[in-house]
Chain A
Amino acid sequence: QKEVEQDPGPLSVPEGAIVSLNCTYSNSAFQYFMWYRQYSRKGPELLMYTYSSGNKEDGRFTAQVDKSSKYISLFIRDSQPSDSATYLCAMSAKEDKLSFGAGTTVTVRA
């Protein structure tokens, strides 16, 4: 079993829809949680960074962490065609290397 499991997708949604992305993990020591966005032919760029459980909001993006369920989510409200990308979850324990999900490719249709 992989340490981090991410819904594989792909997801295709109409413009304006809410996009929901999820990852589950097995290592209870994880306490730093990230979402990266990767456009085609580009490297991943950091989108959201959270510590421990709870919610974090940044514009149209909301990251949720539920450590009791070992489950993290990313929500994109009012999705735009420019949100079409691959989204990667990543997480780590304190002072340790990141573990990545395999990524979910999202297409927002105009």
Chain B
Amino acid sequence: QSVLTQPPSASGTPGQRVTISCSGSSSNIGNNFVFWYQQLPGTAPKLLIYRSNQRPSGVPDRFSGSKSDTSASLAISGLRSEDEADYFCASWDDNLSGVLFGGGTTLTVL
């Protein structure tokens, strides 16, 4: 089944480190790169991580990505209030021959 599974919510306090997981299968994460998008309230998504662990220019190094087997993670260190957003993982799926998005994780900074 072509699905990317994320926890619906995550939270942390300012300065803390939080991680968001994305679980897939051999047809997607297991065989392709993972991408992460940040969607601030009322705005379009923004590319945060590409090729599983690369940051576009302008993205703070507080954000990092990793991948292992059929799962991936987004880590945010030194959490800030402005990090409150929805985070989506994405990957190419070989069975779908198309793009899969995870269901999204809403991050709350307490």
* A and B from one complex: no
